[in-house]
Amino acid sequence: DQQVKQNSPSLSVQEGRISILNCDYTNSMFDYFLWYKKYPAEGPTFLISISSIKDKNEDGRFTVFLNKSAKHLSLHIVPSQPGDSAVYFCAASYSNAGNMLTFGGGTRLMVKP
Amino acid sequence: DAGVIQSPRHEVTEMGQEVTLRCKPISGHDYLFWYRQTMMRGLELLIYFNNNVPIDDSGMPEDRFSAKMPNASFSTLKIQPSEPRDSAVYFCASSPGGQGAPGQETQYFGPGTRLLVL
């Protein structure tokens, strides 16, 4: 029972273009969502988050959009850079979940120079 | 702060041996999490602690796995006896906690321990 799904295992984008990574969830109790980036041989690093009271959060080149009715969130990276090549995980949590996060399976992003 | 510290970074052992993984969370964080990452199952939560107390260990695969947190700055994950199928990368993460505080759920990960059981 995957409550958080990233249906695209990989994505390839040209440098300078937009990267869009998608994530779907099934548990309507989730009220906080996060994106992590992971390089090989390193731990996941926190990238950006959004609360369910918002539908958009922006931080530099990274923007996360949340569509609660569709139970869908996306991460936009504009412009994409080769250094953005990594595995991206979305994660979700809800109040009273004891700070537990439920992770998606990850999407490998490759940004080509 | 140095971030979450894990040791060792790499461990190669033989089947049947005991393996102990160590974690030092970020100072002041109330929550500590142990994860396992494999190609087949992705990132799985094994167990987590709140204020040194185990809260949910439903992800621990078998009785061969045990975790302790004797104090706020140290936790161990032990596998005894180890088996080849335990080969994976094990991550420790910590988060601040606090009811309603912005970013309380954000977990900060260590670099992981890559375990190979032969």
Q: Is residue B91 within 8 Å of B7, Cβ to Cβ?
A: no
Contacts of A32 in chain B (CB under 8 A): 105
Contacts of B110 in chain A (CB under 8 A): 43
Percentage of chain B modeled with pLDDT above 90 = 78
Nearest to A98 among B43, B55, B111 (CB): B55
Report whether pLDDT(A97) > 80. no
pLDDT-derived band at B105 (thresholds 50, 70, 90) equals: confident
d(C-alpha A91, C-alpha B108), whole Å: 13
pLDDT-derived band at B97 (thresholds 50, 70, 90) equals: confident
Summarize pLDDT for B28-62 with one digit per residue, the tens.
999 999 999 988 888 899 999 999 999 999 999 88
Interface check for B59 against chain A (CB to CB < 8 A): the answer is: no
Kindly determine whether residue A89 and residue B103, on different chains, have CB atoms separated by under 8 Å: no
Kindly determine whether residue A100 and residue B112, on different chains, have CB atoms separated by under 8 Å: no
Summarize pLDDT for A49-94 with one digit per residue, the tens.
999 999 999 999 999 999 999 999 999 999 999 999 999 999 998 8
Section B90-101 average pLDDT: 81
Report whether pLDDT(B106) > 90. no
| pLDDT value of residue B99 | 59
Question: How many residues are given for chain A?
Answer: 113
User: How near does any CA of chain B get to the CA of A33, in Å?
Assistant: 9
| pLDDT value of residue A91 | 94
Which phi-psi region, left, alpha or beta, contains residue B28 (left: φ > 0; alpha: ψ -120 to 50)?
A: left
| pLDDT value of residue A103 | 92
User: Can you say whether the dihedral through the CA atoms of A45, B37, A68, A61 is positive or negative?
Assistant: positive
d(C-alpha B57, C-alpha B24), whole Å: 19
Residue B94: beta bridge partners? B32, B108
Chain A residue with the nearest C-alpha to that of B6:
A43
pLDDT-derived band at B102 (thresholds 50, 70, 90) equals: low
Percentage of chain A modeled with pLDDT above 70 = 96
User: How near does any CA of chain B get to the CA of A97, in Å?
Assistant: 9
Q: Number of residue pairs across A and B with CB atoms under 8 Å? A: 54
| pLDDT value of residue B39 | 83
| pLDDT value of residue B62 | 85
Q: Which amino acid is at B81?
A: P
Report whether pLDDT(B91) > 80. yes
Q: Does residue A61 sit in helix, strand or coil?
A: coil
Residue A102: beta bridge partners? A92
Contacts of B97 in chain A (CB under 8 A): 99
Average pLDDT, chain A: 94
* First and final C-alpha spacing in chain A: 38
Nearest to B106 among A43, A46, A104 (CB): A46
Residue A22 tokens, joined: 């998608």
Which residues have a Cβ under 8 Å from the Cβ of B46 and sit 6 or more positions away?
A: B34, B35, B36, B57, B59, B60, B61, B65, B67, B77
Kindly determine whether residue A46 and residue B48, on different chains, have CB atoms separated by under 8 Å: no
Chain A interface mutation, best of B4, B43, B50, highest count of A Cβ atoms under 10 Å = B43
Residue A99 tokens, joined: 């700070």
